[in-house]
Structures are given as C-alpha cells and as structure tokens.
Amino acid sequence: MHSNPTHSNGYHHQQQQQSGGDRRPAMTHRERVRRGPRGSSRLRESRDGHDGAAGLRVSGQKQQQRPPCTDFDMAYFHSYAHVGIHEEMIKDRVRTDTYRAAIMQHQSSIAGKVVVDVGCGTGILSIFCAQAGAKRVYAVDASEIAIQANEVVKANNLSDTVIVLHGRVEDVEIEEEVDVIISEWMGYMLLYESMLGSVIIARDRWLKPGGLILPSTATLYMAPVTHPDRYSDSIDFWRNVYGIDMSAIMPLAKQCAFEEPCVETIVGENILTWPHVVKHVDCYTVTISELESVTTRFNFKSMMRAPLHGFAFWFDVEFSGPAISPNNNQTTSLLTDTHPVDGSQRKKRTNPNEALVLSTAPEDPPTHWQQTLIYFYDPIEVEQDQLIEGSVTLSQSKENPRFMNIHLEYA
C-alpha cells in the first residue's frame, strides 16, 4: 500500500520534504513563461494608470469600499493585455462556438435586455450578445485589452449597444440592474485564476431576480490515469541516449517533469476508473467563501490492470436557464435529476435539448484548457478492481487568491 501526500503551492507541486513551511506562492517559471494565465507569454509589472480611449469608460469611483487591487491583480490583468492569449481562446472552436450557440439558444432571454460580460477580453461574447438583440451590453475588463475591445466595437458599428468599461467588476459603476451575466471565467482545473469571484460580485451587485447567468453551472472531475507513453518520453528516454547509459539523469528528469501539475491532452483510454466529482458549482448560489477551500474524499475502483501514473482533472460547464424557487424566491439553475452532488462518481450529462454543455473531458474534442495532470514520481502497479482512495483539497493562496494550493493524499 502506498500513502503519499503531495502538495502544490501556487499551482506548483512540491516534494513532501519541502512542504513543512508556508512557502511564498509564486507562479512557476514554466507556467509564467510558457503558458502564463491560460497561455499568455509572460507576466509583467503593470502601470498604475490606464490609457483612455474615445467611448471607453475608465473605472475609479468609490474604490475605498471595495477590495483593494493588489500587485498580483495588476500583474494578472496586465498579462491579459497580450493578444496571444486571446488568439488562443478565440481559436478554440469548442469554446467559442459553444458560447455563441448558448447565446443564440437563450436569445429570448437576451433580446431587448441588459447584459454584463465579465472579463470581456476582445469583446467577442459582447458582440455575440448584441447580434442576438441585446438592448445594452456592458463589456467589463480590467486589462488594457479593453482599449482594443472598444475599437472592435466601434469598427462593427455597435457603440450604441456595447459599452466597454475598463476596470475591475468591483470598481466600475453600472447605474441599472441587468438581466443577463455572461462570462468565460474558467481557468485550468476550473478554479485556477479564481475569476469566478468576479462573476459572483457582478451577480450580487447587478443581476435582477430571475436573471440569467451563462454558464449556469460548472463541475470539476478527477480520475486516476495511466500514461506510459508520457512517462517513457520524459523519463525512460534517459536509459539509452545514442547508445549511452544516461539513467543517472532520471531522478532529475522526474523532478523537472513532475514537480508541478502538467497541462496537457490525454484521451479516454488513459482513464482507469469512472470520474469523481470534486466540486459542483451553481453560479446562481455559489459564494466567494465557498471557493476558498474545496475538499473531497475519493474512492476509485480500477477497471483494468495497469501502471497508475497519477491523477487527471477536467471540468464541464452547462448553459441552462434560471428558475425561481417557490420556497424562498431565490434564483437557482435548472438542473436535471442527474445533477451531481460533490463526491458522487456519476458523470453529469444532460439532455442536449435542455442545456448546452462545454466539456473538457478526455473523451471529448480537445480545448485550450486540455486536462490538468498531477503525476507521481514513480508509477504504481494496480490490479483490476483494486481500490484507490484518498482525498484532495484545493485552496486559494492566502497571499494571492488567484493561485491554487493542491494537497493530494492517496492510498
């Protein structure tokens, strides 16, 4: 039996012997340079001020009553000023086509209504909403990409409909209630970047009772994986290099390859068991405090004999409409009877006629989110029907809530 806790600080795996203290969370070099927040080339220091543009509203009112904008926030927002990250997201056809289809599916709730696009980026979702007949769209982004979004809006003759607000959701002022909130807030492993908090703030500040939130729910899954090809490419490669035994490098290779979560694409054949629901999020009711720490216990049964190389995480989001609960007049999402409870192993799939689902599962078409994998330093042979049990805790870094600490135990 193996019982191994692994820790990840700032989305960065630490060896157990390094985890005794509370190390300062920081984005890893590879994450910062190669990917950044969902693909940006690097994080840079941000200027304190913002350049205005015609028709662009700049935030700054009543900030003393709102959470402070930290240096971490400024660096995060500045990373999204890089056009490459937006190119990657827009070229993700699964992502962008599903959002456009969801907007058109809910056109009756959007046409003639007021919409807020949280984290609008280049403004493409705001423009989709305008094309669906929205009366007014507030496109909010704290990054300087808002300046380009405003130019895009003008170029498409939509300035009378789409109002670009350059600032944080906490700081910008909208002088009316809104009917719809749309946002593409999901990060790697769903909760990395913690942008869902901005959607919650927008919901609590502006959304009318019975308003629509797209997407309405999100579910994070995990499952044990076997991935011998990846292990062979990164580790076993060193056993014989041009006929030279370089296996002495293997311990360093393991450390470099597996010391942090890996964002990569796997397929259904890599999954050893049915998935486990780590967290189900209802965007109509979720609170910011609920996201500070998520813990679940898992109990898997291997469907085959294979080497266990680690665990994979992925998510899906659902675009369903709101419903008014008759008991307390609170808005909740329309859920099917197969709505997963945190910890259940039933994978949620709704009738496609009822709700659109954007999935990042290994068996579905790949997206820019791919899957997030936590690899072991050495594989463990498991037999068919063998139990794999343990727990995982995902918690926001106290210093920078946009970073995620991962504590994983398995036996």
Confidence at 50, pLDDT banded by 50, 70, 90: very low
Percentage of the chain exceeding pLDDT 90? 64
366 pLDDT more than 50: yes
Range with lowest mean pLDDT among 25-34, 48-57, 273-282? 25-34
Check residue 65 and give its pLDDT: 52
Closest CA to 231 of 270, 284, 200, 192: 270
Check residue 54 and give its pLDDT: 42
Confidence at 137, pLDDT banded by 50, 70, 90: very high
- Cα 275 to Cα 269: distance, rounded to the nearest angstrom: 13
CATH superfamily of 1-24+216-411: Hnrnp arginine n-methyltransferase1 (2.70.160.11)
CATH superfamily of 36-184: Vaccinia Virus protein VP39 (3.40.50.150)
Q: Domain map of the chain by residue range?
A: 1-24+216-411, 36-184
Check residue 164 and give its pLDDT: 97
Check residue 326 and give its pLDDT: 39
pLDDT tens column, 253-286 = 999 888 889 999 999 999 999 999 999 999 999 9
Phi/psi for 127 (5° steps) reads: -70, -40
Query: Which residues touch 169 (CB under 8 Å, ≥6 apart)?
Result: 118, 140, 142, 198, 201, 202, 205
Check residue 55 and give its pLDDT: 53
β-strand pairing of 114-118 with 4-8: unpaired
The three-state DSSP-derived secondary structure of 208-272 is: EEEEEEECCEEEEEEEEECCHHHHHHHCHHHHCECCECCHHHHHHHHHHHHCCCEEECCCHHHEC
Segment 131-136 mean pLDDT = 98
Q: How many helices (H) and strands (E) does the chain have?
A: 10, 19
Check residue 56 and give its pLDDT: 58
Q: What is the residue-averaged pLDDT of the chain?
A: 81
Highest mean pLDDT range out of 8-12, 39-43, 289-293, 318-322?
289-293
Highest mean pLDDT range out of 6-20, 38-52, 284-298?
284-298
pLDDT tens column, 176-221 = 999 999 999 999 999 998 799 999 999 999 999 999 999 999 999 9
Kindly report the pTM of this predicted structure: 0.80
pLDDT tens column, 277-293 = 999 999 999 999 999 99
32 pLDDT more than 70: no
Q: What tokens appear for 169 in the block?
A: 């959701």
Catalytic site positions? 184, 193
Check residue 374 and give its pLDDT: 95
Query: With left for phi above 0 and alpha for psi between -120 and 50, is residue 63 left, alpha or beta?
Result: alpha
CB 102 within 8 A of CB 214: yes
Segment 105-124 mean pLDDT = 97
pLDDT tens column, 71-112 = 766 766 666 666 777 788 888 899 999 999 999 999 999 999
Check residue 86 and give its pLDDT: 72
244 pLDDT more than 90: yes
Check residue 379 and give its pLDDT: 95
Segment 18-43 mean pLDDT = 33
- Where is 179: in which H helix or E strand? strand 178-183
- Where is 86: in which H helix or E strand? helix 83-91
